Amino acid sequence: MKIALAQINTRIGDFQENLNSILSSVERAKSDAADLIVFPELIVCGYPPLDFLEFEDFIDRCNEAILKVAEACHGIAAIVGAPDKNPKSEGKNLFNAAFFLADGKIKQVVHKTLLPTYDIFDEYRYFEPNHGVFECVSYNGVKIALTICEDLWDIEEDKMYTHWPMEQLIKQKPDVMINIAASPFSEGHTQSRKTVLHKAASDFNLPLFYVNHVGAQTELIFDGGSMVLNAKGDVVCELDYFKEDYRVFELDWVKTAKAVPFDTSLLFDGSSSSMKHIHSALILGIRDYFRKLNFKQAILGLSGGIDSAVVFALAAEALGRENVLGVLMPSPYSSDHSISDALELARNLGAPTKTIPINDAFSSLLESLNPHFEGKEAGVTEENIQARIRGLMLMALSNKWGYILLNTSNKSEAAVGYGTLYGDMCGGISVIGDLYKTKVFELANYLNRDKIIIPQNIITKPPSAELRPNQKDSDSLPEYDILDEILQQYIELRIAPSDIKAKGFDPKLVDRVLKLVNTNEYKRYQTPPVLRVSSKAFGLGRRMPIVAKYLS
């Protein structure tokens, strides 16, 4: 049997274009004499469709698309992911399903059993799990154990579920396993994914075909990396990462094929090669956000600091340098080198800039407000006014010219609330909001791997918001290498405060940092969606109450 894997980039709810892409792949597989073509989980509607699944019209369009794909399946079969209506009144109204299409018909439907409800996943909100109906798919003399994403994933010692579909399907003596998935990118997840697939193939002594989504859906970035494993659990072929791909495999070849070398940069071991994949993920995230929303041009505030420099460079690469405008907005406290550094960066990129000083606007606002500030010392309020003037300027240009504002806050700042609501925290999409400050510096050095794009002075000078004379971030925050380690222990690893302190961190500093994290949740609720590259990003995957006492 010849099996084709179609790793395609779809848009949520774009039924016609998604269908066109699926049908084009089916025709390509026919011309390659494939017997079966396999598409990812929920590919018809895109993943994750969220509350669109509650609209009957949305589900009807999914069904119409499935029937049209089935009509094209003559001389070839297809496995296509889509929601399926639950005919029973009990339980949720939908199943997450894999449709097996052949001879112009829906031949069989497999329902997902294990529904993830953690981190960014919330499938049990919408779907009813499969209740004990386990049946292999038979086609052209080959028996297929067909599963959907999480159905192969529960291999940890502390199991999340009480049963595993493959334990039932293996009793039917299948010839091959096929798993369709929607597995998003995050640091280290590629290796975790391979570990899971290796264990499944080797434990059941069966070849395994795995096909994943690729493309960004708002904050979630799907990295592709579909793969084929032999019965020993060796990866014998990987599809591309962060781009569409298509391959055809002969099942008999897979059974005896040898392992391909593993790209060690996917291990995220802290080496510079790990940045290659974070870089690719962010480029795809920016590009798809604009492409899928039919936006063309971006704007951002260009301060001469590391954060805006990295976002400017990423956006220029993703969208084309002519489509990204950097706006310098010097204040009375802006240093000469910040302006010159920003202009040097723009020259290196070949991207346009504007300069709009905010001195007059700042003075005018202070003149209006000073009578109402009588008796109060100047401080954070006046600093925030500068940031909000800049936000106003950027949003005015955005409204007038149709630019989308890129937010340049990093994860360290967002975690401790070191930013101004309706000022530097505004924007349409947060590009580096899931990168701690130390990672931003690493990414800047990666961007300079072939030639200097980001001026060295931007990378080496002490970070500063430049909202008061001689200000440095370290005046308000601990050094970033210390801060980021504490934040990662708490946010990503969920380690208790006492255990963080036991690692040698100053107890008072730990208490202060964790209090800042929890008391600034209200700010993060009001910020743009963050491109997710870590295992625990702010947004969909980290749900915290605003009004709470814990550690605050």
Task: Give the CATH number for residue 294.
Answer: 3.40.50.620
Residue 60 buriedness (CB in 10 A; 0-12 / 13-18 / 19+): exposed
Q: Which of 267, 302, 328 is the last residue of a domain?
A: 267
Together in a domain, 260 and 201: yes
Give 522-537 pLDDT, tens digit per residue: 999 999 999 999 999 9
Residue 480 buriedness (CB in 10 A; 0-12 / 13-18 / 19+): buried
**C-alpha distances out from residue 56 to 41, 53, 63, 82, 91, Å:** 20, 8, 11, 14, 17
Question: For the residues 84-113, what does the mean pLDDT come to?
Answer: 96
Question: For the residues 235-240, what does the mean pLDDT come to?
Answer: 95
Together in a domain, 78 and 140: yes
pLDDT of residue 272: 44
Together in a domain, 418 and 473: yes
pLDDT of residue 338: 86
E strands of 127-224, at which residues? 137-139, 142-148, 176-180, 208-211, 214-217, 220-223
Question: For the residues 482-509, what does the mean pLDDT come to?
Answer: 97
| Residue 536 is assigned to a structural domain of this protein | no
Token representation of residue 228 = 């084929």
| Residue 88 is assigned to a structural domain of this protein | yes
Together in a domain, 142 and 259: yes
* 248 DSSP 8-state letter: E
| Residue 508 is assigned to a structural domain of this protein | yes
CATH number at residue 97: 3.60.110.10
- Name the strand (E) or helix (H) holding 403: none
CA distance 373 to 368: 10
Question: For the residues 454-469, what does the mean pLDDT come to?
Answer: 83
Model confidence at 266: pLDDT above 60: no
- What average pLDDT does the chain have? 93
Give 363-386 pLDDT, tens digit per residue: 999 999 999 999 899 999 999 999
Give 212-226 pLDDT, tens digit per residue: 999 999 999 999 999
Give 122-145 pLDDT, tens digit per residue: 999 999 999 888 999 999 999 999
Together in a domain, 211 and 338: no
DSSP-assigned beta bridge partners for residue 147: 179
Together in a domain, 251 and 284: no
**pLDDT-derived band of residue 336, with 50, 70 and 90 as boundaries?**
confident
Give 393-415 pLDDT, tens digit per residue: 999 999 999 999 999 999 999 99
| Residue 116 is assigned to a structural domain of this protein | yes
Together in a domain, 262 and 290: no
Q: Which of 267, 289, 307 is the last residue of a domain?
A: 267
Together in a domain, 61 and 134: yes
Count up the domains in the chain and report the number.
2
Residue carrying the six token digits 């550094």: 341
pLDDT of residue 466: 65
| Residue 189 is assigned to a structural domain of this protein | yes
pLDDT of residue 465: 66
Residue carrying the six token digits 């084709």: 4
The active-site residue, picked from 2, 62, 73, 112, is 112
Model confidence at 16: pLDDT above 60: yes
Question: For the residues 26-51, what does the mean pLDDT come to?
Answer: 98
| Residue 535 is assigned to a structural domain of this protein | no
Range of the domain at 77: 2-267
**pLDDT-derived band of residue 262, with 50, 70 and 90 as boundaries?**
low
Tell me, yes or no, if 41 is annotated catalytic.
yes
| Residue 311 is assigned to a structural domain of this protein | yes
Model confidence at 267: pLDDT above 50: no
**pLDDT-derived band of residue 437, with 50, 70 and 90 as boundaries?**
very high
| DSSP SS3 for 322 | helix
pLDDT of residue 271: 41
Model confidence at 254: pLDDT above 80: yes
CA distance 71 to 66: 9
CA distance 419 to 410: 10
CA distance 542 to 433: 13
Question: For the residues 179-207, what does the mean pLDDT come to?
Answer: 93
pLDDT of residue 158: 63
Q: Decide: 111 and 133 in contact? Cβ < 8 Å.
A: yes
Count the Cβ atoms, other than its own, within 10 Å of residue 451: 7
**pLDDT-derived band of residue 467, with 50, 70 and 90 as boundaries?**
low
Together in a domain, 233 and 365: no
**pLDDT-derived band of residue 206, with 50, 70 and 90 as boundaries?**
very high
Together in a domain, 283 and 211: no
Q: Which of 243, 267, 291 is the last residue of a domain?
A: 267
**pLDDT-derived band of residue 344, with 50, 70 and 90 as boundaries?**
very high
Q: Decide: 301 and 426 in contact? Cβ < 8 Å.
A: no
The active-site residue, picked from 149, 238, 437, 536, is 149
Cis peptide before 207 (omega within 30 of 0): no
The active-site residue, picked from 2, 41, 73, 442, is 41
Together in a domain, 418 and 292: yes
207-246 in b/e burial notation, b at 16+ Cβ within 10 A? bbbbbbbbbbbbbbbbbbbbbbbbbebbbbbbbebbebbb
| Residue 130 is assigned to a structural domain of this protein | yes
Together in a domain, 242 and 371: no
